[in-house]
Chains A and B, each alone.
Chain A
């Protein structure tokens, strides 16, 4: 006898396999009928279009594979920075709503309602229009020394490390040694009540190590400052106005949802918890940090993962603004080669992988944040 669940599993797998087989049979039959073939050979053919911005060197005439890779890197770059922006703003606004100050609460509420009720497309269009209003390079806004905002984008000074590999290896060794020494010292402290002599000596050495590392970095690193040339800036680290528009639009839109997740998860913690914390003399901030947030994190992670997945998929709206993300580059490739099925299946595969990686990371965090121990 096989168990009932096992049987259900077998039936499910069999059905799914049958459906997939039927679909792919149909698919190849239809392709054959139209005289079409699936061929990814175009990926190694040369392109004939430029890409507005790229993290890797790319110029018209490089392969389609390289063009798509540039697009993919742009997508990842944009998604990551938007996620950071959305998370930072979301957490700040969500916490502001819980501090208990009436002004903060209503400001946070307005922010959330605004972001939730304005369509993303509209926000992006507004952002794109706004960056178009940026001044020409000669009238650029210099926000800080070396931070320049103009119609050519945002320019920042970029550190150039000439210390090379040795520097990186030294930093890694120092960091791992310090973390081991620190853990060992903490064990000593909980045993003796204060740091033992030996660990005080070792910690001093670690601090000295960091100090010399900083000196080394300062000596070997030069800053590459953006400079104004005839019509543009050169040097430094820069992003285009399109990138800025996408990042702010996506970040702003998603941060409202994240704020609501943070606020809601904190509100879901029983009132008795904050009352107990208060009755012990913990301040509002300490109570949030030590008592409420650790319990709320587990509640925030699953919906947070949804927001991140949405954000990643929403990067495809870059097409509308002219930011060369994967889909934007891919559509050009598709138009030029006519390889629709191949291009779309590349999209599918890549967005699926990005989403799965994101879920996996969050799932792992979730396991670590298992709060209520049983």
Chain B
């Protein structure tokens, strides 16, 4: 597809295929239905994500992408069906919910850093209070991940002193400090100025290369083609189509997908 470029990412080739487990299921969603009052947001959603897999979720606004991934760590609750994360089924059992949340990181469109804490404290808060790691060790780990997202020098600043791109990278580092086995991204670059999109996408590519299981809602189709193992297309609360990037972009099966692609790529 010629009109599409990896506008913002340096490396042109697709991310090396890291080992995707054939048997180890990270997230399994079975026949999930969810309503907001009368309005059905998710209809009969089925999705299985294997360990090491990188999924990009695409679809028009209001199609239920955010709702679906927010159900995976129970920021939203589903009314019907089963969601199993790392072998733990999400029910109203608070202990299990906390257990799942410890192992699943999430990055939000609006960063949601804690404004009253420094960058370092943002990164050590949960490890100290949830994982009960000694402060010193938590700080070392935080510095390690801040170095990985290339902003160790900002550690003692407050979030409001950083650019949007830097804040989003801190948010990624903050999640990584909990050693998650799965990372969820909900449009992590949509609130950023174009010149900052690149630095955040690069961070996510590095993460992908390390074999992290990732589920990303994004409109960055260049990123999707480069990084995703599978693209999941949603419309009207349903998963309409899921396929490899090559098939998805070059040979879309459904009319809705073709329409969406023609809109987003032009």
* Residue positions of A touching B, CB distance < 8 A: 189-194, 270, 272-273, 275-283, 286, 290-291, 294-295, 371-374
Contacts and interface: CB of A to CB of B under 8 A. Distances in A.
B108 interface: yes
Given A272-B112, A273-B114, A279 B160 contact: no
A52 B70 CA distance: 64
Interface stretch (B129-137, B145-153, B198-206, B220-228): B129-137
A280 B136 contact: no
Nearest to B106: A279
B116 A280 contact: no
A347 to B, nearest CB: 42
Contacts of B112: 270, 272-273, 275-276
Interface residues of B, number: 32
Contacts, number: 84
A374 B158 contact: yes
B125 A280 contact: yes
Contacts of A273: 112, 114
A283 to B, nearest CB: 6
Task: Determine the main DSSP class of A at the interface with B.
Answer: helix
A294 B161 contact: no
A346 B131 CA distance: 59
A371 B136 CA distance: 24
A190 B94 CA distance: 33
A275 B115 contact: no
Contacts of A295: 114-116
Interface stretch (B7-15, B55-63, B97-105, B234-242): B97-105
Interface of B: 73, 75, 94, 98, 101-102, 104-106, 108, 110, 112-116, 125-126, 129-130, 134-137, 139, 158, 160-161, 171, 174-175, 178
Nearest to A372: B115
Contact of B75 (A191, A194, A278): A278
A281 B160 contact: no
B115 A280 contact: no
A373 B130 contact: no
B108 A278 contact: no
Contact of B114 (A189, A193, A276, A278): A276
Q: Which 3 A-B pairs have the closest CB atoms?
A: A276-B112, A280-B126, A281-B102
Contacts of B102: 280-281
Given A193-B137, A295-B116, A280 B178 contact: yes
Nearest to B118: A373
B220 to A, nearest CB: 21
23 contacts: A189-B136, A193-B136, A270-B110, A270-B112, A273-B114, A275-B75, A275-B112, A276-B106, A276-B114, A278-B101, A279-B104, A279-B105, A280-B102, A280-B130, A281-B102, A283-B98, A286-B130, A290-B125, A291-B114, A371-B116, A372-B115, A372-B160, A373-B160
Contacts of B158: 372-374
Contacts of B137: 193
Given A189-B136, A193-B134, A279 B116 contact: no
B246 to A, nearest CB: 32
A279 B101 contact: yes
Contact of B101 (A193, A280, A373): A280
Contacts of A279: 73, 75, 101, 104-106, 175
A23 to B, nearest CB: 47
A288 to B, nearest CB: 12
Contacts of B114: 273, 276-277, 291, 295
A216 B153 CA distance: 52
A290 B116 CA distance: 10
Nearest to B70: A275
Given A294-B116, A371-B116, A372-B160, A282 B126 contact: yes
By CB atoms of chain A within 10 A, which of B114, B134, B137 has the most?
B114
Contact of B116 (A191, A277, A278, A373): A373
